[in-house]
Amino acid sequence: MQIELKSPFDAHLHLRDGAMLETTVPASAEQFAGAIVMPNLQPPLTDRHTIDSYRARIEAIGGESFAPAMTLFLTPSHTPADIEALKGVISAVKLSPAGSTTHSEKGLHDLVNNHSFMAVLEAMEAMDLPLCVHGETGDFVLDREAAFAPTYRALARRFPKLRIVMEHLGSRALLPLLDEQPNLYATVTLHHLLLDLDALLGGMLRPECFCKPVIKTPADREALQKVVLDAHPKIFFGSDSAPHPQADKARGAAGIFSAPVVLPALAGFFEQHDALDRMQPFLSDRARDFYRLDLPDRTVRLKKDPWRVPVSYGGVTPLFSGERLIWRVVDGA
């Protein structure tokens, strides 16, 4: 039994930089024809020069069969003219409200009352440039996504033509927004789809399952599984794969390195639910249409051939480290 996927696409990926690119780029390029590459480096990608040179570093490793689609890290000092100057350079703008995630200290405070932010969104709406949002507040950790719902709603209503992606959606409380607001979309990760807090805290603490937004309750996981299996037209895959060196993980850094196991684990999930035909639209078609991408033409094949996930990739512990997966990527040409 084999699965064939046409040009799989990861709509939310952290590749990091420097020596780590030697691990992260091949891990994704083996399975994906491209990715929306997130800009929260240290320092973040806030201008054309840093974006172009980062793209070149990724392409030098990934080659022609992996297309990185770049993003801008939005800061309070950006103007509409800055965004307009990036037409054709970036595929989206990433908003990480201050304090929400790794390296988001430079993000925006008090969004809806921020006039320069509103002017930037107006320019993006006119350019039809999507906004990708890490939607969490400073509330209790399990409530942070749900508490961001009014901000999503306010932004969607104020800019009805701006396409907004609720990134790495993990709370079922946000799902009704997809049907309520025509211009709200969502990415779903592997870990929010398959895991709940038991995986992180139910036995020994497993730092490789810790991320922001944190994986949540069984009810949240089941609600996400339902909308993905029902092929909701506004949901597509984004891994949010976000590696940290083991030393940082030991200090509690948030981020899950899922890239090496994405397609095998998702194949197991869709097969278990007798829904292998839903993989292609979730893993490529919908994101490709949303971002209007011209991806490298690739066919990635998987077959049933059990393997054990390595405990480390270049000093980073992957999701499902040491566990056995049934499906294996056999050909990504």
Residues taking part in catalysis: 240
- Kindly tell me which of 136 and 240 has the beta carbon lying closer to Zn ion: 240
- Cβ atoms of 283 and 5 closer than 8 Å: yes
Rounded to the nearest 10 degrees, the angle between the axes of helix 149-158 and helix 115-127 is 60
Of the ranges 41-49, 103-111, 157-165, 233-241, which one interacts with Zn ion (CB under 5 A)? 233-241
In the bound complex, which residue of the shown chain has the CB atom lying closest to Zn ion?
Answer: 240
User: What type of residue is 149?
Assistant: A
Query: How far apart are the C-alpha atoms of 272 and 274, rounded to whole Å?
Result: 6
Residue closer to Zn ion, measured from CB, 10 or 240: 240
Q: Round to whole Å and give the CA distance between 79 and 98.
A: 18
- Kindly state the DSSP code that residue 114 receives in the 8-state scheme: -
Stretch that binds Zn ion, among 112-120, 203-211, 236-244, 291-299 (CB under 5 A): 236-244
Residue 240 found at the interface with Zn ion (CB under 5 A): yes
| E runs forming strands in the chain | 2-6, 9-13, 34-37, 67-73, 92-95, 131-133, 164-166, 184-188, 235-237, 299-308, 324-331
User: 23 or 258: whose CB is closer to Zn ion?
Assistant: 258
- Which region among 114-122, 178-186, 240-248, 316-324 touches Zn ion (by CB under 5 A)? 240-248
- Give the number of residues in contact with Zn ion, rule: CB under 5 A: 1
Instruction: CB nearer to Zn ion: give 145 or 240.
Output: 240
| CB nearer to Zn ion: pick between 38 and 267 | 38
Q: Which residue has the tokens 């988001």?
A: 104
Residue 52's CB is within 10 A of a number of other CB atoms, namely 12
Cα angle 318, 320, 326; round to 5 = 125
Instruction: Pick the piece of the chain touching Zn ion (CB under 5 A) from 235-243, 272-280, 282-290, 313-321.
Output: 235-243
10 contributes a contact to Zn ion by CB under 5 A: no
* Enclosing H/E stretch for 226: helix 218-229
Q: Interface with Zn ion by CB under 5 A: which residues?
A: 240
